Structure 1
């Protein structure tokens, strides 16, 4: 069973690209740091399927004030926690309901959010509808970043040329195009672009150097990475901070240079002055990658000493780091600590431990954890039930696997995908029981999630035959789904003397 695809551990990524080690999609930090209960109401609404607009409107209906700066702050917080749909809703509500004029920065943020939520085509449409007088370096740069994320090289290059015509060929534009080349793997064009900047006297900032460092790291070119790092350290205009050294640590870790990676982490730690949470998250992840359990616990003690209350993301990162080193006992203690004080019980946190139980043959522990949570009124999510279903399947407990799979499908969110071969195995339970109603319900829940395979229909046919039910409706639906009966289908139907 491929467990790694189910809950992949977060990777250490440079935050220059807007990628954070993890997110539990809550705003616990914002809520805990502000007495404004609007933050608290927003923070508890983590389900992206639920609109955040009613929360805002109810706040206004209660006669409470909403400051524009407060809304912009929430948009920023939501983006940082990758709650893009909710951030976009606030941005739209701010403009549509409050008639707030959007600045160039607001428009750029809106563009980025539209691309992430609705796709590039919608982002381009929004950009084309922006009045020309409202377009500036930030808005063009935002669209260029959209092309970078989608790896549309030709469109990015065309837009870049347009920006040059408009006199907007500033460091931001070059950095965005460098990002395009980096993400698309065209690293050879990075040096050409940086040389062009030098020829035009356009200063290369920390962002540009870090993109080049990341490209060298991606191909394990440590000499190239070190040359860029030395150049940055010698440049008086570049302020070296912890995230630069985190890139170097990732590069050294990738090629197995543990001592050099640890040296970078020590430098990194000495430069942490602000955004300590983000820095500690990186340190936990990086030390886990180096197998440094003692260092993980040391950083965790520093994390806990911060004045702000630990949030779900903090705990999740610590749990991930320990489980990467197979420290299940340590992860259990962290989960217990989280459970005793969490304000938002997000099942994604204990899911990491449940997965570890299932991967390591500790199914009884996984069952016990979920049952105790249910007794306390907690609600497992789709991943919880899917983990159990997979574990039951491996343990040959097909009946329990099928029931857990049904529970997973009942709470599945739009876009969730499962292994298409797995449901067919669950259907074996219904075949053996001749349980037509159970099989039909299972298939009904399955249909919105994955295309029904021929294997699924064949097992459904066997269920009908075992129960002595007519199979014509199954055959008709099979044909409707574009699956013509084959030799195996005929073999299944032979006992019935059915002619297809």
Structure 2
């Protein structure tokens, strides 16, 4: 631990003395060093996030020659920095001035004696906008799939919000799950069951139920109709039976049927509902009808059962939908209701800010320090992923060391994440070393690891390793292995192999869903194989698949890659009207980028507006693309800075350069000569 702290201290000295010597006083530098010693995990994020924001702000104000440059720089400092600098010696116990701004206990720590106007002091607050990122931090996390790494009791594995993180939905079907029995106990707990393991008819000894079969046998009928008849036939509704059915419906992503089951159980009073049952209902409503309907239902729950579990379940769904404003409001309300601040809730915020504004991660970490909340394995998993996405490999390794110092060892998901980031960062040897560790001595005994190994080896260009592992699986592949193989062979440009793996996939499922077809469709889209992509979409239609956000995204990229951006635009517009989920952020951005490259201001502005209408808050990434359209069209971007300010966004270094190029009142000497 001391080595990590000393390494952080060395980084602090270098960055403060060399980079920020003209910004910080000697006293401030001393306080920074103390922060590094006291908060090693937090310091890793402050060193990157806070300093970068200061550098960007300083560069912008210096380049633009603002007279209020000093005030602007200070307001651009992270609020965590201000908090620590002004309250460190007091132990960061009570703020000198509290500004309640959306994140509950993290009432802002500002010094009321500051000489800066209050308007400046309120610039950087927890707000509903998605957050600004510097160009180096502009990984939009469009399809990171991280939301499935931690879910509350009763929250299903897959989000249906159609948001940025919906791309990693390749979970095994129920028939493929060898570990179904191991997961059932969690659902029992979530649904209030008390069945003991090993008991007769225990969920660990039964992987199906008569109630489940009755519901699945009549897919066109309502659950209430099916179960009323089922009860009339003499069947008994038990807690275990209801729980098993709920579990199976969730695993099949039949959230609508699961919601009907929950409503029937409550309306017929077959079971006595407790908080866990209400939390499960909130989750299902959020998935089927949206978070606002779930919020309305929450208000109807008896007050004695309206506890922290119910609220955090709704919070998880708000985060899954990347609804920043609602997530922060809900987190703040939980504090108002005197609920304890749990590691789970903080993890949800980390997950949210990982996608929308990485600079706010430091605020959450400071909150956890202040409330003495010990980070969980999932906490470190998020932080490792953040560092890896920013290609901060050294600091990613520091997070791992901090985790181990706290007595936590990396699980398989963390190891796979590390291997992916090493591969992306060009650290091939380190990546392969971790992959060998995951594989173990006998890959046949560690069969679960294949789904991780196949795509990562593909990203390393190791065709031989992909083939070796796939040969082990190919005779009797599991569904997730098939999907991993399709992706891997696609990365290696082995289209025929990807198609063969897809055929294996079709042999495993009687009725493939759009998720399965999309795995191959993405391969065709990435390789601009429009004809094959069209044929696959026709097969999807013939199979009766319902298209969703993931499929729309693949189709959009397929047409844009083929140069048919207008067709992609038309498809996306039709998808929006179908109201079957919100299109992915990347779908809009793919079309927007293409229009911008053409200098098509009208259509770029149209996509910008469509993203806002879809509920995606503004980010620097969108403004960068929009401004590029004006630059390519050689048209002045009047009032662009004001548009950004209206969304509480401020240009980073890259965007400031774009603004200078699009300045309507700036003429070069050459332009003057030509006029």
Normalised to the residue count of structure 1, the TM-score between the two structures is 0.61
- 1:195 and 2:369 are equivalent in the alignment: yes
Q: Closer, same or farther in 2 for the Cα pair 1:381/1:170, shift >3 Å? A: closer
Q: Deviations over 1:219-247 (max 9, x none)?
A: 333233211211222333x2532122123
- 1:322 and 2:495 are equivalent in the alignment: no
How many angstroms does 1:364 deviate by?
7.3
Distance 1:365 1:217 in 2: 34
Q: Is the 8 A contact 2:422 2:430 kept in 1?
A: yes
- 1:284 and 2:417 are equivalent in the alignment: no
Question: In structure 2, which of residues 343, 346, 360 is the aligned counterpart of residue 171 of structure 1?
Answer: 343
- Between the two structures, name the one with larger relative contact order (CA 8 Å, sep ≥ 6): 2
Q: Which residues of 2 match residues 49-198 of structure 1 at below 5 A?
A: 56=227, 59-60=230-231, 63-80=234-251, 82-97=253-268, 99-149=270-320, 150-152=323-325, 154-162=328-336, 165-166=338-339, 168-185=340-357, 186-198=360-372
Distance 2:217 2:482 in 1: 17
How many angstroms does 1:187 deviate by?
1.9
Question: In structure 2, which of residues 175, 199, 206 is the aligned counterpart of residue 28 of structure 1?
Answer: 175
Match of 1:337 in 2: 504
Match of 1:16 in 2: 149
Question: In structure 1, which of residues 202, 205, 213 is the aligned counterpart of residue 384 of structure 2?
Answer: 213
Q: Closer, same or farther in 2 for the Cα pair 1:345/1:55, shift >3 Å? A: farther
Q: Is the 8 A contact 2:211 2:241 kept in 1?
A: no
Distance 1:347 1:138 in 2: 33
Distance 1:318 1:244 in 2: 21
Q: Is the 8 A contact 1:160 1:177 kept in 2?
A: no
Q: Is the 8 A contact 1:287 1:296 kept in 2?
A: yes
DSSP 3-state at the match of 1:187: helix
Q: Is the 8 A contact 1:114 1:123 kept in 2?
A: yes
Distance 2:221 2:525 in 1: 31
Q: Deviations over 1:140-168 (max 9, x none)?
A: 322332343322254144124235x34x2
Distance 1:88 1:342 in 2: 25
- 1:266 and 2:436 are equivalent in the alignment: yes
Q: Closer, same or farther in 2 for the Cα pair 1:299/1:131, shift >3 Å? A: farther
Q: Deviations over 1:35-84 (max 9, x none)?
A: 546556767999xx996665555654655455433433443454455543
- 1:241 and 2:411 are equivalent in the alignment: yes
Q: Closer, same or farther in 2 for the Cα pair 1:315/1:224, shift >3 Å? A: same
Q: Closer, same or farther in 2 for the Cα pair 1:127/1:342, shift >3 Å? A: closer
> Tell me, which stretches of 5 or more residues in structure 2 are unaligned?
1-141, 152-156, 159-167, 181-206, 592-675
Distance 2:217 2:426 in 1: 41
Q: Deviations over 1:104-123 (max 9, x none)?
A: 33322322222232222222
Alignment length (residue pairs): 393
Q: Closer, same or farther in 2 for the Cα pair 1:84/1:217, shift >3 Å? A: farther
Distance 1:42 1:116 in 2: 20
More moved, 35-44 vs 90-99:
35-44
Distance 1:358 1:143 in 2: 35
Q: Closer, same or farther in 2 for the Cα pair 1:381/1:81, shift >3 Å? A: closer
Q: Deviations over 1:242-292 (max 9, x none)?
A: 12212322332343323222223333334999x978754333333333333
How many angstroms does 1:179 deviate by?
3.6
> Tell me, which stretches of 5 or more residues in structure 1 are unaligned?
1-8, 423-500
Q: Closer, same or farther in 2 for the Cα pair 1:133/1:247, shift >3 Å? A: same
More moved, 344-353 vs 253-262:
344-353
Q: Is the 8 A contact 2:173 2:251 kept in 1?
A: no
Distance 2:344 2:419 in 1: 26
Q: CA RMSD in A?
A: 5.0
Distance 1:415 1:50 in 2: 24
Q: Is the 8 A contact 2:150 2:378 kept in 1?
A: no
Distance 1:314 1:35 in 2: 24
Q: Is the 8 A contact 2:517 2:540 kept in 1?
A: no
